[in-house]
Structure 1
Amino acid sequence: MKNLSKIFIAIFILSNTIFSQRIKDIAMIGNVNSQQVIGYGLVVGLAGTGDSHRSSFTIQSITSMLKRFGITVPQDELKTRNVAAVMVTATINGLQKPNSQFDVNVSSMGDAKSLQGGILLMTPLSGLEGSVYAFAQGPISVGGYDISTKSGNRVAKNHTLAGRVPRGGIIKQSPEMTAQIENEVKVYLKEPDLTTCDNIAKAINTKFGNEIAKSMDASQVNIAIPNESQQNVVDFLAQLESIEVQSDYPAKVVLNERTGTVVAGNTVKIKPVTISHGGYNINIKSNPIISQPGAFSQGRMAIFNNLVPQVTEDSTNVVALQGASNVQEVASALNSLKVTPQDIIAIFQAIKEAGALVGELIIL
């Protein structure tokens, strides 16, 4: 059977590294606790891809659920192939009030083949101490497919035993806040960065004309509420969160092995390196370029390294890219040779291990 065409999805952030954003978009205002929650549930509506009778906990769960509805069915008569037992996980915080919605992650526990097309039944989500903070329910979205025929043929793409329920969780009670807002409020960056944190403090001080904000570290800014604003803290916080600041983020490459997705910032660079993977050879070499100033100018001669990546497959096809080598150029070269997403991800991992990837590598 012919394999389906491999599709590589690459998203590259081509805008400048530093740009203006509102504080509310990059940080959380308030003294807030985050709480991880977990629950055990059932996914129904599967097209024969659920758990088999070997997953005894699935049978027990179905029996218990039916009893709550006043239905009694012998366990040996239950058909479980349209049902799968799953674990449901999420993270919530004290700013999320009752009835707020959030995304939840769903992962198969038994021997199901796929969660595609399934519906998560109402599942309580509790914290480590046992308190129920939320409930989750809704259709599951997976990043692939798994199709089998009666003749034994099977076509699959990506991972279908884990997915998400977008906005499927509903808060019942919020985690307690660490402290009430009195004379001081704290701002926590969602993505810690020293430069951005310092820019937030400076922007706040410029806005209110006083030195009321101070950056404590890469993720926290402490703000003293002015005396004239203490009678109307909500208005002060509204002005605070609308302030625009220059945000700066480090170079990162994010890989999702389940879906074959690569997301990279434009500041990520690749040093000279040679990698052989399967039938592909990748060679990124450095070509020095001499910049000679014009006559009678005040400039000086400078030497730059021009990185040129080359990709060869069985020493026949060669792709050469001019200019500084970045993730976008290397990924585009590999994609032009029909390299699978898994191969591309493995190559980037090898580049990082070799110390040639200038940036942080994150694997989901």
Structure 2
Amino acid sequence: MKTFRTLLACIFAMCWVVAFSGPAHADRIKDLGGFQGIRANQLTGYGIVVGLPGTGDDNLEYTVQSLKAVASRFGLQLPPGANPGMKNAAVVLVTAELPAFAKPGQRLDITVASMGKAKSLRGGSLIMTPLLGADGQIYAMAQGNLAVGGLGAEGADGSKIVVNIPSTGRIPEGATVERAVSTGFDTAPTLTFNLQRADFTTAQNVAAAINRKLGFGSAEALDAVSVSVKAPVGADVRASMMSAIENLDVASAEPSAKVIVNARTGTVVINSAVRVGPAAVTHGKLTVRIDENQRISQPAPFSQGQTAAVQKSGVAVEEERRPMFLLAPGPKLADVVKAVNAIGASPADLVAILEALKEAGALKAELIVL
């Protein structure tokens, strides 16, 4: 009887561990993707920077037109033939990112880049510039003094030096939001959560985790990316629900086996899902050496010959012999790396070995060459 009670206690303890222990490699849902419509929006504007110390566009036609347009805002009409000097001004493109839920009055950081012949924007000030969205509407107004990290200097003889990029600068909090972007999260009948990486297993796991939290039927996987969630009425209730969903832990699926090769830099990245079938690999090194030497040929005494330089060439071929290395079936990433190091392959040689394994059908992975 005592043995039976002990066994029952052990079974209960095991069930408790299984029921309340979390997944071994769980990720928060917020780290796997985001809700549809809740995203940043890009803003762009065309403006003019003034106050430059002679490093501006220098009389470009569109710079002159831009300056005349700025002057006309204040009721100043320049004569038709007037062509003011533009060394102290430059036309620029202004870019900014409008985050989700940004409200009027909030500040944005902006980037200002010259689009003309300006050598440097250091010391310049951006005149009030509207920033437009993809729909052509004004969502922010930008203005302020530029902070430029680059610099340039030029000598009288034409020599010059440039550090970083002086024709681009930033204005921290240089724009003010004038219009909010509607996300529709408080009015749409359902909310859609989109994964950053398409995977049917992960999408099903996300839907199952939401159903365990909110109740069966609250979420369903639409495809390998999107999970639809039934949303209650009211912005406050939805915000609380979305917060709870984002902090749920989900076991994401193991990624597909991939080998990434950067042919320009020789970088090779192998993920943990890569497997190699049984294969024998040998890696040899062939070296061809050619030596060129000159010798002086002396004629025999009392002969009619002349002293001359004679070219002597030596050609030799050396082949470094290495034993064949056997790859056991189904090794993991650590075994692949160990095998490659054993045959002494360089990054360039490793690419050739991986391509050969792929052609032989021994590499169980997708080979991607950048």
Change (3 A) 1:215 1:143: farther
Within-5 A mapping of 1:251-290: 267=270, 289-290=325-326
Equivalent of 2:194 in 150, 173, 188 = 188
Change (3 A) 1:179 1:209: closer
Q: The residue matched to 1:39 in structure 2 has which SS?
A: strand
How far does residue 225 in structure 1 lie from its aligned partner after superposition?
3.4
Change (3 A) 1:207 1:45: farther
Q: Name the CA distance, whole Å, in 2 between partners of 1:66 and 1:129.
A: 28
Q: TM-score with structure 2 length normalisation?
A: 0.54
2:153 corresponds in structure 1 to 147
Q: The residue matched to 2:105 in structure 1 has which SS?
A: coil
Change (3 A) 1:57 1:143: same
Equivalent of 1:242 in 247, 261, 264 = 247
1:85 aligned partner, one-letter code: V
When structure 1 is superposed on structure 2, of 82-91 and 179-188 the one drifting more is 179-188
Within-5 A mapping of 1:155-194: 155-177=161-183, 180-189=186-195, 191-194=196-199
Q: Name the CA distance, whole Å, in 2 between partners of 1:218 and 1:165.
A: 41
State the number of aligned residues: 269
Change (3 A) 1:230 1:35: closer
Q: The residue matched to 2:239 in structure 1 has which SS?
A: helix
2:7 corresponds in structure 1 to none
2:345 corresponds in structure 1 to 308
Change (3 A) 1:203 1:136: farther
Q: Give per-residue Cα distances to partners, 1:166-225, cap 9 Å, x unaligned.
A: 543432113344574454212234x44426555543443344453533333454321123
2:211 corresponds in structure 1 to 205
Q: Name the CA distance, whole Å, in 1 between partners of 2:25 and 2:88.
A: 49
1:172 aligned partner, one-letter code: E
Native 8 Å contact 1:288 1:304 kept in 2: no
Structure 1 residues without counterparts, runs of 5 or longer: 1-17, 256-261, 273-285, 293-300, 312-319, 326-356
2:140 corresponds in structure 1 to 134
Q: Name the CA distance, whole Å, in 2 between partners of 1:107 and 1:171.
A: 20
Native 8 Å contact 2:36 2:191 kept in 1: yes
2:69 aligned partner, one-letter code: S
* Residue 87 (structure 1) aligned with residue 93 (structure 2): yes
Q: Name the CA distance, whole Å, in 1 between partners of 2:187 and 2:100.
A: 13
Q: Name the CA distance, whole Å, in 1 between partners of 2:48 and 2:98.
A: 22
Bigger fraction of residues in strand: 1
1:232 corresponds in structure 2 to 237
How far does residue 31 in structure 1 lie from its aligned partner after superposition?
3.8
How far does residue 237 in structure 1 lie from its aligned partner after superposition?
2.0
Q: The residue matched to 1:95 in structure 2 has which SS?
A: coil
How far does residue 153 in structure 1 lie from its aligned partner after superposition?
1.7
Native 8 Å contact 2:186 2:235 kept in 1: no
% identical aligned pairs: 31
Q: Name the CA distance, whole Å, in 2 between partners of 1:101 and 1:252.
A: 43
2:280 corresponds in structure 1 to none
Bigger fraction of residues in helix: 2
Q: Name the CA distance, whole Å, in 2 between partners of 1:199 and 1:157.
A: 51
How far does residue 52 in structure 1 lie from its aligned partner after superposition?
0.8
Q: TM-score with structure 1 length normalisation?
A: 0.55
Native 8 Å contact 1:115 1:142 kept in 2: yes
1:58 corresponds in structure 2 to 63
Change (3 A) 1:49 1:100: same
Native 8 Å contact 2:186 2:238 kept in 1: no
1:147 aligned partner, one-letter code: A
Native 8 Å contact 1:31 1:180 kept in 2: no
1:275 corresponds in structure 2 to none
Change (3 A) 1:225 1:309: same
Q: Give per-residue Cα distances to partners, 1:214-252, cap 9 Å, x unaligned.
A: 33345432112379x998223212222333456688989
2:55 corresponds in structure 1 to 49
How far does residue 111 in structure 1 lie from its aligned partner after superposition?
1.5
Native 8 Å contact 1:212 1:226 kept in 2: no
Q: Name the CA distance, whole Å, in 1 between partners of 2:147 and 2:223.
A: 38
Q: Name the CA distance, whole Å, in 1 between partners of 2:54 and 2:323.
A: 58
2:346 aligned partner, one-letter code: P
How far does residue 155 in structure 1 lie from its aligned partner after superposition?
1.2
* Residue 97 (structure 1) aligned with residue 134 (structure 2): no
How far does residue 110 in structure 1 lie from its aligned partner after superposition?
1.7
Q: The residue matched to 1:308 in structure 2 has which SS?
A: coil
Native 8 Å contact 2:64 2:83 kept in 1: no
2:292 corresponds in structure 1 to none
How far does residue 141 in structure 1 lie from its aligned partner after superposition?
5.6
Bigger radius of gyration: 2
Q: Name the CA distance, whole Å, in 1 between partners of 2:259 and 2:143.
A: 33
Native 8 Å contact 1:183 1:230 kept in 2: no
When the two chains are superposed, the root-mean-square deviation of aligned CA atoms in Å is 4.8
Greater relative CO (CA pairs within 8 A, separation 6+): 1
Q: Name the CA distance, whole Å, in 1 between partners of 2:229 and 2:218.
A: 6
